[in-house]
Amino acid sequence: MKIVLIGHMGSGKSSVGIKLAAALKIPFKDLDSEIEKVEKTSISNIFSEKGEIYFRKVEGKVLKKLLSATSSFVLATGGGTPCYGDSMTYIAGLEDVVSVYIKVQLGTLTSRLFSEKENRPLLAHLKTEDELNDFIRKHLFERAYYYNQSKEIVAVDAENINETVEKIILKLF
């Protein structure tokens, strides 16, 4: 089985994914890191040198390549992965894939992302926490349509990583 974690930037897909994979004794993969390996440069550099459209094309291709493998793993996608091209339809159509939307509240996403926004090409230009909050609210409004097509939705608020992993395992088995 492949478990594909979906959710906004700052929802904890990677940190939850690492622990979930360890608990299930299967490998963990991170789509952004796989893209960086293929492109031999950082996500920020891809955005600044080649632009977002190029990034989205590579993202879709690397996703499909990873999901075509027969092995089991946990994959943390990027926050935009399911929202471009036919990626969400593709993920939802695979029988051996369980997609899990980690749904985190706007306020929590805002405070988490405010301290790390410099490393994120889509957020670096936002100056204040209010601007960031506004940006994430609009982003969630547009993206929820795709995120909500996940097979499972795990709403997370004050839970820590271990509790989130437990919640996901309970949904899966």
Q: Which residues bind ligand S3P (CB under 6 A)?
A: 9, 13, 32, 43, 78-80, 120-122
Strand order in the sheet with 152-156: 28-30, 73-76, 2-6, 97-104, 152-156
| Cβ-based nearer residue to ligand S3P, 24 or 79 | 79
Give the separation between CA 173 and CA 171, rounded to whole angstroms.
Answer: 6
- Least Å distance, CB 33 to ligand S3P, is 9
| Cβ-based nearer residue to ligand S3P, 80 or 101 | 80
The residues, ordered by sequence, that sit 6+ positions from 21 with a Cβ below 8 Å of its Cβ are 27, 28, 73, 74
| Cβ-based nearer residue to ligand S3P, 46 or 165 | 46
- Least Å distance, CB 79 to ligand S3P, is 3
Pair 136, 113: CB distance under 8 Å = yes
- Least Å distance, CB 160 to ligand S3P, is 19
